[in-house]
Chains A and B, each alone.
Chain A
Amino acid sequence: MEYKISNRLKIGAIIMIVLGVLGVAYGFMDSHKYENVKDVETLLNNEASHGGGHVTEAHGVEAHDDSNAHAVDSHSQDAHGVEHVDEDHGMSHEEHVLHQIHNRPWSALYVAAFFFFMIALGVLAFYAVQYAAQAGWSPVLFRVMEGITSYVLPGGAIVLVIAFLADSHLFVWLTDGITDPDSDKYDALVAGKSGWLNKPWFFIRGLIFLAGWSTYRYFSRKFSVAQDNAELNDNRNFKKNFRISAAFLVFFIYTESMMSWDWIMSVDPHWFSTLFGWYLLAGMLVCGVTVIAMIAIYLKSKGLLEHVNDSHIHDLAKFMFGFSVFWTYLWFSQFMLIWYSNIPEEVTYFVTRIEDYNLPFFGMIAMNFIFPLLLLMNSDFKRVNWFVIMAGVVILCGHYIDIFNMIMPATVGDRWFIGIPEIGSILLFGGIFLWIVFTALGKYPLMAKRSPFIEESKHFHY
């Protein structure tokens, strides 16, 4: 089946990109209205006279709940303790707020860029698993997956470029003088980690990860397409793909883990968690499988994937369900271990999130766990296409908020909002994602003709 990106989709993607650029530009202009500490002082005074900005409001609301009062008190003391540590780096409260305001458009860009990149990377890992496991159901979806993974290289490059340009707006450990004992910004904890967290090494690692992933992507796509024109019983290209997939999975699990420390966890350089890499991986896989299902359903509705039947959608929905539960398991394991032991240096991570990000933090549990759990449990519902699409939309929004919750508390603190800079960034990278993915989908026939498992896959029935 031939597919060509339709004009409507092209125009839609362009409109998204243009609106996104406008939104992002507005975000930067808006944040730079506050050029110095003086402007922030007036802002803070205004907020105070309006009966409280974010901070006071959040505290006020929680204090109303009597049963919560004790816990909140002890928590907020912890949080303030941490804030004081920050402020001891020779920074006034106003300067702190100024930084947060300036960080916001950068963080918004970074969250959205990473979100779309991680979809592509999750699909790449899922695709490699399908080859390595010699799955019999999925070969009819290989071209859809290959289309989505075409975003790995540009998406990863975008993330690295934003990280490079944003510099200390995102990564506190890039602040000048933070490792210099004579500087008033000196931070002994960060200085102790500077063997790993330093600018050249960070980007060298990033480039190595990206090079490894996109090299695998390039060759697996090449072999997959070459297999189409192979002679009968000539499975050399498939075997090559099988081998490089197995090797890639080994490489991937190490690099993905390190990437999660570098690109996400290092925004909070005082904090660390050992299962963070897995946690991010689970989120990546959910989003990846969800997008595979959504694009497959879209192409099927255009009559382009005649061999994709309800059983394939059912299988994808099962993966969406299973990985959602797996994500929740890891989220909860991370949260509960830290909550239970309540060690101050670890628990501040969740204290700031529960205090300042209450709704997104707990809302995402509903979106990423309870919603898919109840909707996708029924086996009949998993075969209803619009149902899978609706569940997929909620899952994707939930995982955007998941990434949002990872980055924002470290960069903008309580000055967060999902407003024009955030939505603009989503539109911008969403548009680029759609453009690249659907262009790649149009390059080769949508059916991987000569895959050894293609007949089994065409007749897959559950």
Chain B
Amino acid sequence: STEESDPWWKAFSGVCRDMKLQIKLEIFPAATDSRYIRAVRHPAIGFSPMNRTPVLLHDHNEFLNEQVFLRGIDIYAHLLSALASVPPLPAEA
């Protein structure tokens, strides 16, 4: 879910807002392992923190810039802090 009322999405999007990351919501144009995770009813978001990077998956000369890579670590550190601190959900109380 990408509703603000969803606690996971609230945590994810809150980090993006705090870090001033512009995000674009999309449907993944191919298939990946998320489909199996979602099929057993767990919410999942597909995210690789690579902006300013040409789309070169499966292509020749696939590369990633080290600064983009390092910023991604910073982004995940914030995302993990927020997601792993989501307060107990009603079902968990």
Q: Do A and B come from one complex?
A: no
Please list the residues of chain A having a beta carbon within 8 angstroms of any beta carbon in chain B.
Answer: none
Please list the residues of chain B having a beta carbon within 8 angstroms of any beta carbon in chain A.
Answer: none
